[in-house]
Chains A and B, each alone.
Chain A
Amino acid sequence: MATLTVTTARKAGSGALTWSGRATPYLFMAPYLVLFGVFVLAPAVFGIWVSLHDWDYMLEGKPFVGLENYSALFDPASAVYDDFWMSMRATGIFTLFSVPFLVVLPLGVALLLNRRFRGRTFFRGLFFAPYVLGVAVVCLMWRLLLDPNLGLVDWLLGTDIAWTTSLPWAWVALVGVTVWWTLGFNGVIYLAGMQDIPRELYDAAKVDGAGRWAEFRHVTLPGLRPVALFVVTTTILASANMFGQSYLLTKGAPGGETRTAIVYMLDMGLNQYKMGSASAMSYVLTLALIVISLLNFRLFRGRS
Chain B
Amino acid sequence: MSLDGLTRRRALGLGLGALVLTGCGGGGGPRQAAQQQTGAQATAAPTSYTGPAVSLAFWNGFTGGDGPFMKRLVEQFNGEHPNIKVAMNVYQWSDYYTKVPAAVTAGQGPDIGIMHVDSVATNAARQVVLPLDDVAKALSLTEADFSPPVWQAGVYKGARYSIPLDVHPLGMFYNKTVMEKAGLDPDNPPKNGEEYLAALEKLKKAGIQGHWATPFPFTGSMQFGTLLHQNGGRLFADDASVSRFAEEPGVQALTWLVDLINKGYSPKNVGQDADFIALQNGKAAFNWNGIWSINTLREVKGLEWGVAPLPQIGTQPSAWAGSHQFVVFRQRKPDQNKLAAAKVFINWISGHSIEWAKAGQVPARRAIRESAEFKALKEQAAIGSQIDYLYFLPSVAGIGDASAVVDQAVNAAVLLKKSPKDALTEAAAKADKILEQNRKKYGA
Contact = CB atoms under 8 A, between A and B. Distances in A.
Is B truly associated with A? Answer: yes
A84 B442 CA distance: 23
Nearest to A59: B126
Contacts of B6: 271
A149 B126 contact: no
A82 B427 CA distance: 11
Interface residues of A, number: 37
B401 interface: yes
Contact of B411 (A78, A256, A273): A256
A143 B271 contact: yes
Given A58-B126, A79-B433, A266-B1, A255 B272 contact: no
A56 to B, nearest CB: 7
Nearest to B413: A255
B274 A255 contact: no
A162 B411 CA distance: 14
A148 B400 contact: no
A297 B97 CA distance: 41
B263 interface: no
Contact of B105 (A58, A78, A82, A254): A58
Nearest to A148: B269
A83 B431 CA distance: 12
A164 B433 contact: no
A272 B271 contact: no
B90 interface: no
Contacts of B418: 255
Contact of A56 (B272, B423, B441): B441
A166 interface: yes
Interface string B257-282: 00000000001111110100110010
A253 B441 CA distance: 29
A267 B407 CA distance: 14
Given A56-B441, A149-B278, A272-B401, A165 B271 contact: yes
Nearest to B441: A54
Contact of B216 (A82, A149, A253): A253
A267 B415 contact: no
Nearest to A263: B3
A137 interface: no
A267 B412 contact: no
Contact of A267 (B128, B272, B404): B404
A254 B215 contact: yes
A151 B433 contact: no
A181 B5 CA distance: 28
A39 B191 CA distance: 58
Given A58-B105, A78-B433, A267-B2, A254 B272 contact: no
Contacts of B271: 143, 146-151, 162, 164-165
Contacts of A255: 408-409, 411-412, 415, 417-418, 423
A148 B274 contact: yes
Contacts of A272: 2, 398, 400-401
A151 B7 CA distance: 25
A265 to B, nearest CB: 10
B201 interface: no
A26 interface: no
A178 B401 CA distance: 30
A89 interface: no
Contact of A150 (B125, B281, B440): B281
Contacts of B122: 273
Contacts of A78: 433
Contact of B3 (A57, A147, A247): A247
A150 B278 CA distance: 8
B408 A256 contact: yes
B85 interface: no
A159 B277 CA distance: 20
A82 to B, nearest CB: 7
Contact of B126 (A54, A267, A273): A273
Contacts of B433: 78-79
B90 to A, nearest CB: 18
Contacts of B126: 56, 58-59, 273
A285 B206 CA distance: 53
A59 B104 CA distance: 12
Contact of A149 (B215, B267, B400): B267
A83 B216 CA distance: 18
A148 to B, nearest CB: 4
The 8 closest A-B pairs by CB, nearest first: A255-B412, A162-B269, A79-B433, A58-B126, A148-B269, A147-B271, A254-B415, A272-B401
25 contacts: A54-B440, A57-B102, A57-B105, A58-B105, A58-B128, A83-B430, A143-B271, A146-B271, A148-B267, A148-B270, A149-B270, A149-B274, A150-B274, A150-B278, A165-B269, A165-B271, A251-B216, A253-B215, A253-B216, A255-B412, A255-B417, A256-B3, A270-B1, A272-B398, A272-B400
Interface of B: 1-4, 6-8, 97-98, 101-102, 104-105, 122, 125-128, 212, 215-216, 267-272, 274, 277-278, 281, 283, 398, 400-401, 404, 408-409, 411-412, 415, 417-418, 423, 430, 433-434, 436-437, 440-442
